[in-house]
Amino acid sequence: MTNPTMLGSVDFSSTPSTSNPFHPEDLAISPTGRYVVVSDGYSYCTYRVNLGVASIDVTSRNLVQYLTLASPKQAQNVSVDNYGNVFVGDYCNRRLYLLRIDSNGALTDTGATFDFSYAPFNSYVSPDSSRLFVVGEGGITVFQINGAGSITKILESTTVGKIQSMAFSPDGTKVFLGDYSTSPDRIIVANTNNLTVITTVDILTDQTAGYFDVDVMSVEPNGQKLYMGNMADGTTRTNKVTVVNLDDYVLSTIDLASDSVPTALAFRGVYRFDLRLPLVLR
C-alpha cells in the first residue's frame, strides 16, 4: 500500500476577509471531479455575516469562487449530485439551500430553501442521483431529484431516530443509518424507496450527540461489509472500528491504538482486489 502524498493545499485565511476567515467544515466533489465544493461552517450556530461556500479547482488547487449566502443563512454540510446541484445543509436554521455549480466551477444560489422540523447533520445523494437524503437530530427527509435546479420532497420521518451518518448499498436498494437515539447506538437497515426498516444492529458506542458533517460509516464497494467509527466524541467512544458483515449482520472490530478515536472513513477502489480505508483520528 502506497503512503499518501500531499500534492498541495489551499489557503483560506483571507477568504472572504481577514476579519472573518473561512473555516472549512465539509466538502463534496463536482460531477466531473474537477472541483471541490467546501462549506464555511465557522462555529456552532454563532451568528456571523459572510458565511458561504467555496469552489476549488482540484488540478490547480486554486480558489475559483467564494459565494456568500444571504444572511442569516449558514453552511454546515454540503453534497453534490450528477446534475451539478449543490445541497447546503444549515444545522442552525434547520434548512437546506439549493445551489448550482457549472462546468467552470462557478457557484450560484437558486434561492430555493427547504425547512425541516429537525437540525440536519448530513446530506447524501443516492448512487444514481435520483434522490437526496437529509439526516439529522430527530429525522430524515427524502427528496426526489428532478434534474438541474429542481428537487421535490417526497418523504419525511421524525420517528426513525437521531441519525448522524448514512451509507448506501452499492446497488442503491438499501440505506444504513447511524442512530444514537438508542442505548447502545445502532445501525438501522432500511429500504431506500420507502425507509421501511429491514433490521437494526446494536453497535459498540453509546453516544448522546453527533458530529456535524462527519461521515462515520462506509460500505465496501462489493457490498459485503460496513465499517463504522464514532458518531461523536463522547464518554463511550471507542478506539475500534466496528465492522458489520452485511450478509448476517455479525459484528467484528479493527483495534486501533488506545488513544485513537476513529471518526470519518471512506472506501476507495485502487486496483483490483486492493481497497483502502482512510481514517480520520480525533
Report field, pTM of the whole predicted structure over 0.75: yes
Q: Where are the domains of the chain?
A: 8-159
Cα distance between residue 276 and residue 282, in whole Å: 19
Q: Are 207 and 185 in contact (CB under 8 A)?
A: yes
Q: Which long-range contacts (CB under 8 A, 24 or more apart) does 66-75 make?
A: 66/15, 66/16, 66/22, 66/40, 67/99, 67/107, 67/108, 67/109, 68/16, 69/97, 69/109, 70/109, 72/47, 73/97, 74/41, 74/42, 74/45, 75/25, 75/39, 75/40, 75/41, 75/51
Query: What is the reported pLDDT for 212?
Result: 67
pLDDT of residue 43: 55
Q: How far apart are CA 86 and CA 101, in angstroms?
A: 7
- The closest alpha carbon to 178, from 143, 155, 210, 153, belongs to 210
Average pLDDT, 10 consecutive residues per value, the chain (282 residues): 67 66 83 91 62 89 89 86 95 92 96 92 93 92 96 91 90 92 91 93 82 79 89 72 92 82 63 39 44
What is the CATH number assigned to the segment(s) 8-159? 2.130.10.10
Cα(98)–Cα(153) distance, integer angstroms? 13
